[in-house]
Amino acid sequence: MRDVLTEALAGYWDEARTDAMGNLIASRGLDRPGPKALVAAHMDEVGFLIDDIDEKGFLRFKALGGLDPRVLPSKRVICGSGRVPGVIGAIPHHLLDKDDDRAPAVEDLYIDIGARTRDEATKLVRAGDAATFDTAFAVYGPLIKGKALDDRAGCYIAARLMMGDVPLPVHYAFTVQEEVGLRGAKVAANRTRPDFAVVLEATTCADRPDPASPGHSTYMGKGPVLTFQDASSVPSRKLLDLLVATAEREGIPYQWKETTFGGNDAGSIHKASGGIPTVSVSLPCRYIHSPCSFLYWSDIEKTVQLVTAFFARISKEGLPA
């Protein structure tokens, strides 16, 4: 990810470094007047950590980040830096008891790369290697489908902001290890010590099958998501109000996240450096943390518009008092 981002953005940032955690932290316009912003998006995706290779060459794994084990059987994966293709299979149901309707558990699953023995497997993959879903990115009309949209979409929006150039001093932190505890963001915030932060994320929809169900969180197609509270942070109310005011003035649709579970890098950033006023602007992402997630281009474009307008306003008016 760092390589991909560097290739795309090296012509736009003033400088960038990879810190001790692996965060890619870039800056543009630090000599400008105005409050210093931190724009954060995480580079990591949910996946698998191979913890054991058995004698028959099957790769046993633990989840890296939150994964519902029920999405794992019958899926293709890619393993390690060698990008070795593998599959997570399933016991033929013909061989299970008719009454056995247990959902699979991670301990019972494994990745098959076609190796016959541990020795064969370890020539290609080692314990400690990571694996990810192997899902192609594609666009079908208004729909984007792919894996890792959480939070490659956030990284994409951060990249668009950098390319469009925000009229403020800005650090862009492409963070690591969000999925295992918002870890990279903490040190990125400590290093950059911004005056305020905007976290760009993907968030749960649960708007299907029933949009009216009481448990839905956000809706695809209704624009950027603002969070009034989640399990990891309470945002700066003043920044939130300014976001709303900006959206309404610019005629940009937005929606509220209607659940308070889940967390993101704002959870670490708002507590860092003596406390940093932080807001999240998120994308409604269906089937998040699964092999194939959905986003609409329109929600991405509206989010770019909203955050661009928000920064423009702060550049003119300063941070809300």
Partner 1 sequence: MTGLSLESLLVELAEVPGASGREAGVAAAIAGRLNAAGIETRFDRLGNLYATILSGQPGAKPTLLLSAHMDTIGLVVRDVDEHGVVRILPIGGVNRRTLLGLEVWIHGKERVFGVVGATPPHLTTPAERKKVAPWEQFFVDTGLGASEVRALVRPGDWITFATAPVRLGNGRLSSPGLDNRAGVAAVLWSGLRLAASRAALPVDVVLCFTVQEELGTRGAAAAEPAPLPDAAVVVDVGFGDMPGVKPRDSIGFGSGPALTSGPNIHPGVRRYLAAVAERLGVRVQDEVMAGSSGTDAWELQVAGVGIPSAVVSIPLRYMHSTVEAVNLADLEQAARLLEAACIEADAAEVWGWSGGPVAREVE
Would you please indicate which residues are annotated as catalytic (active-site) residues?
178
Report whether 286 contacts 205 (CB < 8 A): yes
- Backbone torsion region of residue 120, taken as left when φ is above 0, otherwise alpha when ψ lies between -120 and 50, otherwise beta: alpha
Give the position of tokens 């980040």: 65
| Sites for partner 1 among residues 60-89 (CB under 8 A) | 68, 70-71, 73-76, 84-89
Residue number with CB closer to partner 1 (84 or 170): 84
- Rounded to whole angstroms, the Cα distance separating 268 from 176 reads 12
Q: Which of 225, 202, 168, 199 is nearest to 41 (CA)?
A: 199
Residue 207 backbone phi and psi in degrees, to 5: -95, 5
Residue number with CB closer to partner 1 (10 or 105): 105
| Sites for partner 1 among residues 222-261 (CB under 8 A) | 261
Report whether 182 contacts 232 (CB < 8 A): yes
Report whether 45 contacts 148 (CB < 8 A): yes
Residue number with CB closer to partner 1 (73 or 181): 73
- Rounded to whole angstroms, the Cα distance separating 107 from 105 reads 5
Among 292, 309, 312, 319, indicate the residue that binds partner 1 (CB under 8 A): 292
* Region near partner 1 per CB under 8 A, out of 167-175, 229-237, 272-280, 291-299: 291-299
Q: Which of 162, 202, 229 is nearest to 5 (CA)?
A: 162
| Sites for partner 1 among residues 195-214 (CB under 8 A) | 206, 208-211, 213
Among 107, 108, 119, 165, indicate the residue that binds partner 1 (CB under 8 A): 108
CB 234 → partner 1: shortest distance, Å? Answer: 21
CB atoms within 10 A of CB 274: 6
Residue number with CB closer to partner 1 (147 or 186): 147
CB 313 → partner 1: shortest distance, Å? Answer: 33
Question: What does the per-residue mask of binding to partner 1 show for 153-182, with x meaning CB under 8 A?
Answer: ------------------------------
- The β-bridge relationship of strands 138-140 and 37-42 is unpaired
* Region near partner 1 per CB under 8 A, out of 17-25, 94-102, 176-184, 234-242: 94-102
DSSP secondary structure letters along 117-175: SHHHHHTT--TT-EEEE----EEETTEEEES-HHHHHHHHHHHHHHHH--SS-EEEEEE
Question: What does the per-residue mask of binding to partner 1 show for 114-153, with x meaning CB under 8 A?
Answer: xxx---x---x---------xxx-x-xxxx-x--------
Among 13, 48, 58, 310, indicate the residue that binds partner 1 (CB under 8 A): 58
Q: Using CB under 8 A as the criterion, which residues of the chain lie in contact with partner 1 when the complex forms?
A: 54, 56, 58, 68, 70-71, 73-76, 84-95, 101-104, 108, 110, 112-116, 120, 124, 134-136, 138, 140-143, 145, 206, 208-211, 213, 215, 220, 261, 286-287, 290-292, 294, 296
